[in-house]
Structures are given as structure tokens and as C-alpha cells.
Amino acid sequence: MLADYAIIGAGPSGLAMARALQKVGVSVDGYEAAADVGGLWDISNPRSTMYESAHLISSRTTTEFAEFPMNSTVDYPGHRTLKQYFDDYADAFSLRELFTFNARVTSVTRTEDGLWDLTAVTPDGEITRTYRGVILANGTLAEPNIPLFQGEFSGELMHTSEYKSPSQLSDRRVLIIGAGNSGCDIAVDAVHHAASIDMSVRRGYYFVPRYLFGRPSDTLNQGKPLPRPMKQFIDTRLLRAFTGDPVKFGFPKPNYKIYESHPIVNTLILNHLGQGDLRIRADIDHFDGSTVHFVDGSSDDYDTVLLATGYTLDYPMVPREYLHWNGAAPSLFLNIFTPDFNG
């Protein structure tokens, strides 16, 4: 007998979905392209974009599943602890047996009677099965966003998805394009290995320390959430008191309010800027060999340009019309359900 639903992906979201359906008695078949659970937190997974120094940027207590606390007292665990946590979670609730591993889903199509045909290449060959619904949990941090630039760079051009350890940048003049969480993590990680580190940015950021008043910052004000405008007003001033004004370190002033975009949970980057260990540069104008020209008219030579430019959403197994794409993202009810979802 076939299961009711298919789940594509056995990372944190896929496991959580499998457990949620398991608890209410809905049968599922899971498909995972890698050899084990954990998704990007499994650094041995060839598609993982994890790097050796990666840790949570949300605290353990706001990240762990409510029914399954982490077996750790560390506030911000590293990727190996997270991988073990997802292993333990899958074992505790017998979730592994719901998944077929090393199974790559190649297509999902709608049948005439409103069901879904899923085709996958598994260790036993290609299969096609029919389900009431399909849940996409194949992740959002796997397909690098590679911007187009004017000119050509003659040195090494790489994306943060290819970065694993600071030894890759040893003795190199490095320009990091983008200052999101990964870009700042890597800058801090590599600052004492590279010959130099510059960061090219085109907008301002808000920087949140991991600890406020001796507690993980995301655990404050959990009991009685403040209205968003009030929280933005208070937190903007609180952060300025704790971290200072990022504009003084060379960043542009943000043209948006805090929490309208994901803040940077890394204040070590400000320490290194204050120590002169790295520099903030303007947005890119164009490349010319090993020389990078910036929009403010300045230029410099680099050995490596590292793109910290994020990721694109990608669901190659599903025809675009099924997800009602609007620009770079699907248009979904609650960002979860397609408009025609009927349970």
C-alpha cells in the first residue's frame, strides 16, 4: 500500500515534517539524495554548504525541537553537534525507516485525478509512485546565487558554498563580496590566515551580539513579545549601545529597519574592523584582470574573490507552474501551501 504523502529531503525540515505526520497517523515515504539525514548540517554530504567553523546563529533553546531537547549545554552548537542531534532525533522516532536514501527525485507531476506522480532514481533503479501530496523539503541553501559582473577576474573566483576552512585562503589577498552571516563568519575565520581581507558591500547591516545581559540574545523577551514597531525601536537603540554604530566601522547606513532583513549575528567582525584587520569597500563596478574597481572610484588587486551572495531557491523536479513562481520565489499561502492545496 502506498503512503499518503511523499517528503523530499531528510534535513531538519524534512525530519520535522515526517515526525509531524507520523504523530497524526499520516503515512509518508521520504526521499533523500544523500546517504543519511541532516541535510546541509552533514558536512560529509557532497551538496552540503557547511564550513568547518560553522555554528548556529540562533541559540540552542530557540532551535531545538520542543519534544526533543538537545543533549548539549552549549548555547550555540557547531555543525557536528547539530548533525548528531538530527541523527538522535531520527533514531528516537524511527524516522530513518520512512526514508529511502541515495534517492534523487527527478520529477513530480499532477495526475488527471488530482494526485501526484513522483519519479525517483534509487539504489534499486528508477521508480514512479503516486501520492495525495508531495512536501518539498530539499532546502534553500544549496544552489549558489552567482551575480553577473562587468569585466573578467583573472584570479580565483569562488562562492561561499565552496569554502570549508581558512587554509583555502592562506597568504591570499581576498575580497569578500557581501557581508551576510556567512560572509562575516568567513572573514573572521580567515582574517589571520589570508594576506589581507576586504569586504565589498552595497548596503548597511544591523549587528546583533550573541549575548545580551549574559544570555543568548534571541532568548530575551520570549514570554511577552513586544509589538513589532516597539521592538524595532527598542532593539535599534539597545544594539547601538552594545555594539556602536556600524557606520563608524565603514558600513553604509541601513536603508531599512531592523528585522526587515535578517540581522548579522556576529560582532567579532566589528572588533576586527576596529583593529584594522580588514577593510570595508564599496560595491563592485567592474573587474579588470586581477584588479577590482569599486563604484566609489577606488580599486585594488586581489588573488581571490569570494562571493558571499547567498543562494537561489531551486525545485528542479517540479514544473514552475505548480509553485506559482513570482520572481525569485514561489507564491504560496503562508509561504507553505500552493493556492489550490486541498489537504
Check residue 338 and give its pLDDT: 86
Grid cell, residue 25, equals 497517523
* 80 SS3 class: helix
What average pLDDT score do residues 253-279 get? 95
Average pLDDT, whole number, for the chain?
A: 95
Q: Are 239 and 206 in contact (CB under 8 A)?
A: yes
Query: What's the pLDDT at 343?
Result: 62
- According to DSSP, the β-strands at 311-312 and 143-144 are antiparallel
What is the 8-class DSSP label of residue 321?
A: H
Superfamily assignment of 5-142+312-330 in CATH?
Answer: FAD/NAD(P)-binding domain (3.50.50.60)
Q: Are 333 and 341 in contact (CB under 8 A)?
A: yes
pLDDT at 209 over 90: yes
Question: Could you tell me the pTM of the whole model?
Answer: 0.93
Give me the residue spans of the domains in the chain.
5-142+312-330, 146-309
Same fold, 5-142+312-330 and 146-309: yes
pLDDT, tens digit, 9 for 90 and up, residues 37-63: 999 999 999 899 999 999 999 999 999
Q: Average of pLDDT values for 15-31?
A: 98
pLDDT at 112 over 70: yes
pLDDT at 220 over 90: no
Confidence tier at 186 by pLDDT (50, 70, 90) = very high
Cα separations in angstroms, 56 against 74, 83, 196, 216, 311: 10, 12, 26, 12, 18
Taking a C-beta distance cutoff of 8 angstroms, is the pair 218, 62 a contact?
Answer: yes
Percentage of the chain lying above the pLDDT 70 cut: 99
What is the assigned CATH class of domain 146-309? alpha beta
Q: Binning pLDDT at 50, 70 and 90, where does residue 307 land?
A: very high
pLDDT at 261: 93
- Over residues 213-238, the mean pLDDT reads 88
Is the pLDDT reported for residue 223 higher than 80?
A: no
Looking at residue 3, its pLDDT comes to 81
Mean pLDDT within 329-340: 88
pLDDT of residue 2: 72
**pLDDT digits 0-9 by tens, 120-149:** 999 999 999 999 999 999 999 999 999 999
- Could you identify the residue written with the cell 543562494? 311
